[in-house]
Amino acid sequence: MGDRCRIPCITVSLLNTDTLFVEHQFNFLSLLFRPHYRVQVFDERDMPLAGVAERSGPGLQRPLRYTGFSGWTSFDLVVTAPHGQPLLHIRKPFGRRPHIRVTTPDGQAIGSLRQESVRRQALHDAHGTRVCLLGDVAQIHTGHRAKRHGQRVRRDVVRIRPGLTEPLRSLAVAGALAFDIARGKGTAQIDQSIDIVP
């Protein structure tokens, strides 16, 4: 109970939903030019759970976002509920494999993610201790093609391990919502498929 009280920012629906549909815009322009990271999150009943967007643009890093170095650039993401309430902040500094910090909207540390390889992303607690791999607590299947409001999307199907407690629950959700960043791709190669399973 204590851990959940210290992380009040996640809505009950997002916290208690074990299956997430994480959708990326998927059209000709987004395949060629995707300087901004932006996804929408739904449950299995197509109810919106959250949106993810950058709090500020890429700035001087913008040219790198069009290249294979997109994954090196910094990202400052906010996860927002459908009614506009900030839920999580996800921050990645510039570099190849730095720790991606996950915090509450008021800056309280929840933990971090760190890429160990293309298929291995480690979860660390707020003290920096490695706890497990993202694949130990979540299955992520990327690359599904779907339509949302008549627009093509890439749908990543995420299954969080039922009963997962904090802070692993928040870290697993953050890793799934920012998966392209967590696996070192950034905004590049939106059409590339990869599965992360236990």
The tens place of each residue's pLDDT in the chain, 198 residues long, gives 444 444 444 544 887 899 999 998 876 555 555 678 899 999 999 999 999 999 876 667 777 776 776 777 889 999 999 999 999 999 999 988 899 999 999 999 999 999 998 789 999 999 999 999 999 999 999 878 888 888 888 899 999 999 999 999 999 999 999 999 998 888 775 555 555 655
Burial label for 63, CB within 10 Å (0-12, 13-18, 19+), is exposed
Per DSSP, the residues of 147-163 read EETTEEEEEEEEEEPTT
Are 151 and 38 contacting, i.e. CB atoms less than 8 angstroms apart? no
Predicted confidence at residue 55, as pLDDT, reads 85
User: Is the link from the previous residue into 167 a cis peptide, with omega within 30 of 0?
Assistant: yes
Predicted confidence at residue 9, as pLDDT, reads 46
Are 27 and 152 contacting, i.e. CB atoms less than 8 angstroms apart? yes
CA distance 162 to 106: 27
Q: In the numeric block, which tokens belong to residue 134?
A: 């993202």
Predicted confidence at residue 131, as pLDDT, reads 97
**Strand 130-133 versus strand 138-148 pairing type:** unpaired
Predicted confidence at residue 167, as pLDDT, reads 92
36 DSSP 8-state letter: S
